[in-house]
Amino acid sequence: VTSDASRHLPNAIDLRALRLEIEEFNTDYAEALDSGDLEKWTAYFTDDALYTIIARDNADAGLPASLVYCEGKGMLKDRAFAILNTTMFAPRYIQHFVANVRVIGVDQDGIIAARANYLLLETLADGHTRIQQSGRYRDKFVRRGADLLLAERACVYDTLTVHNSLVYPV
C-alpha cells in the first residue's frame, strides 16, 4: 500500500472485498481472451481506456515505447478485428493464469489502483505447451454501476522473446 494513497485507502475488509472482486474480473477477462471472444474482451474497458503491452525495462525506466498501444475503445476494437481477420496468429490455444492480485489504493476520484501477475501459456500446432509470456498487470479500475471497468491496463512483461507482427492481447 503506497503512502500517498493512504488518505483514501479503504479499511482492511473493504480492501479484501475489492481484491476478491478484481480476481473475479480478471478470471472473466482471461476467459474472454482464452476462448477467442475478442469482442467481449473490449467490453472490459472504459470508452477512453488506455491499454498497453510494454517491456519491463521500458516501464521501469518510464520510456513510452511499447509493443502495443491502444488509446480508447476504438483502437481496442480495431485490434480485435485485425486479429480475428488474420492468419498471422500462430498458437493453437492460449491460457491465462492470473495470481497475486493486489489492491494498491483508491484515490479521491474512486479510481482503484491494482496489480496482478499473469502467466500466458500457448499450445502450438505440434501440441506442445510452453510459456509465451509472464508479466504483471498495472491497472486502474473505475466502477460503473455494479461493474468494474478498466480505465487503464499496462501489461508489463518480463519475457523479451515476444515478437509477433500482430500481438494477441494479454
Q: Interface with its own copies by CB under 8 A: which residues?
A: 16, 19-20, 24, 26-28, 30-31, 56, 92-93, 95-102, 115, 117, 119, 121, 123, 126-131, 133-136, 158-161
Provide the minimum distance between the beta carbon of 69 and its own copies in the complex, in angstroms, as a whole number.
20
Provide the minimum distance between the beta carbon of 152 and its own copies in the complex, in angstroms, as a whole number.
19
Give the nearer residue to its own copies in terms of CB position, either 33 or 38. 33
Give the nearer residue to its own copies in terms of CB position, either 77 or 115. 115
Nearest alpha-carbon partner for 96 in 66, 81, 117, 68: 117
Q: How far apart are alpha carbons 148 and 93 in whole angstroms? A: 27
Give the nearer residue to its own copies in terms of CB position, either 62 or 109. 62
Element at 96 (helix H, strand E): strand 93-106
Write down the number of H helices and E strands in the chain: 4, 6
Provide the minimum distance between the beta carbon of 75 and its own copies in the complex, in angstroms, as a whole number.
27
The cell for 85 is: 481477420
Give the nearer residue to its own copies in terms of CB position, either 50 or 162. 162
Provide the minimum distance between the beta carbon of 76 and its own copies in the complex, in angstroms, as a whole number.
22
